[in-house]
Chain A
């Protein structure tokens, strides 16, 4: 083992061994943190104060950003990784896990986030892609990654690259849940169909959806993705969160939906409660009361094609 690996634990090649026979950066650990987030809500925050509000509301993690997706949309320009100083100030403020985004394919941004000790990296289509052919080789990192997907093939391609958690892409920054529903239904519905296939059909199916056969077979055996699946993109109300949980996701990302609404603290708390009690409609109804104005939405069906970001990534 090199000195670099001894000092840094995992060194620069993801998995490794520390003193006392401790194994670090394994798939089990990367996927395991996502399992700890299940049944919870991960909230976009742009300041340490917002992070504190999210934690107080019961968020199970926060996504540290300079701009929420709605502002990235409104302001245009190139959207990049956030300032590490901002991310660190958020990490210092809360005890829950902190995630941050890098651009698709931008492994240098990913290395910077890993170097500051981020808990999870979102290789995100919300930022401007840095590489139009290649995603980050996520197996090579000690820190786990979450990636967006619109269908089962895309989800399994990301997992084959080393993603330890998948989220629907949805259409971020719109407050319109329709795309998150489309993507979650696609992923979960395709798994349901896969479970009914004979093996010879699976070979053909793997080719059709451009996913590695081993992962297709593993998904069929498990009856679910081999990693945790969250909903993201356009979730703005407790009812949206309950809807996504009923479709079969393991938890919820809320981006612009909280801090672009009239009463962020109350809305954040209500979305956490609706995610836990998604099976109890009386509770979902109760927590939906008196939340003030939701974020002003953008209807995705009338949005020009060039404004859509879910198509980024491949």
Chain B
């Protein structure tokens, strides 16, 4: 199995390290041709405006949309979530795939960044360390979107829509491999020739 990591900018190497620890081959994606033969794609943390500018200039927007629409799993963390979203409340290039309204820098500036324990659907065995860095939140979700995690005040910070997964926090900055393992399982199940992916 091969999972791509969008490598335009951001902490893509941290995602590659997590995949390597799971014994999965990671492929850096900067150009459309690098999407070929991948079983899934992770879009990392970083600056979503930078992702958008570079994706437009190097012709990645439509190929990324087509990749997700082919049913292969795509997971966005932080800036990756913003890049997946339909509505980010401002004029900014995104893939517009996930039916969510996202608010950028929702907690404030860097001094408002924080770490807290999270309860995530599917990872009930123990709390997950949530690292929020100038993080966005999901303000509202469409009908097809399942909420996977809320903060204590009810704010949505993780969600899923069919083959799309989004987290406002950074599992790749922790030692906890469970989110990556879960995503890899979904990629494994949905890869061609395997039984259809059930949720």
Contact = CB atoms under 8 A, between A and B. Distances in A.
Chain B contact surface mostly = loop
A96 B49 contact: yes
Given A95-B104, A97-B110, A277 B30 contact: yes
A199 B113 CA distance: 37
B37 interface: no
A22 B114 contact: yes
Interface string B43-55: 0011101100110
Interface size classification for chain A: 35 or more
Nearest to A26: B115
A58 B116 contact: no
A246 interface: no
B9 A276 contact: yes
Nearest to A55: B49
B110 A40 contact: no
A21 B117 contact: yes
B134 interface: yes
A28 B111 contact: no
B59 interface: no
Contacts, number: 129
B68 interface: no
B109 A119 contact: yes
Contacts of A59: 50
Contacts of A239: none
Interface residues of B, number: 42
Given A57-B53, A273-B54, A40 B46 contact: yes
A271 to B, nearest CB: 12
B133 A36 contact: yes
A39 B47 CA distance: 10
B148 interface: no
Contact of B47 (A20, A36, A118): A36
Contacts of B54: 58, 272-273, 276
A103 B131 CA distance: 31
Interface in A1-54: 9-10, 18, 20-26, 28-29, 32-33, 35-40
Given A57-B53, A58-B49, A95-B105, A18 B10 contact: no
A143 interface: yes
A37 B13 CA distance: 12
A100 to B, nearest CB: 12
23 contacts: A18-B114, A21-B116, A21-B117, A24-B113, A25-B111, A28-B115, A32-B131, A33-B134, A36-B45, A38-B11, A40-B10, A40-B46, A58-B53, A60-B46, A95-B104, A96-B47, A96-B49, A97-B110, A117-B111, A119-B110, A142-B111, A272-B54, A277-B30
Interface of B: 7-14, 30-31, 45-47, 49-50, 53-54, 57-58, 78-79, 90, 104-105, 108-117, 131, 133-134, 151-153, 170, 173
**Nearest 6 A-B pairs (CB), nearest first?**
A58-B53, A22-B114, A119-B110, A60-B47, A39-B9, A35-B11
Given A58-B50, A96-B50, A118-B110, 12 more contacts: A25-B111, A29-B110, A32-B133, A35-B11, A39-B8, A39-B46, A60-B9, A60-B47, A60-B50, A117-B108, A273-B54, A280-B30
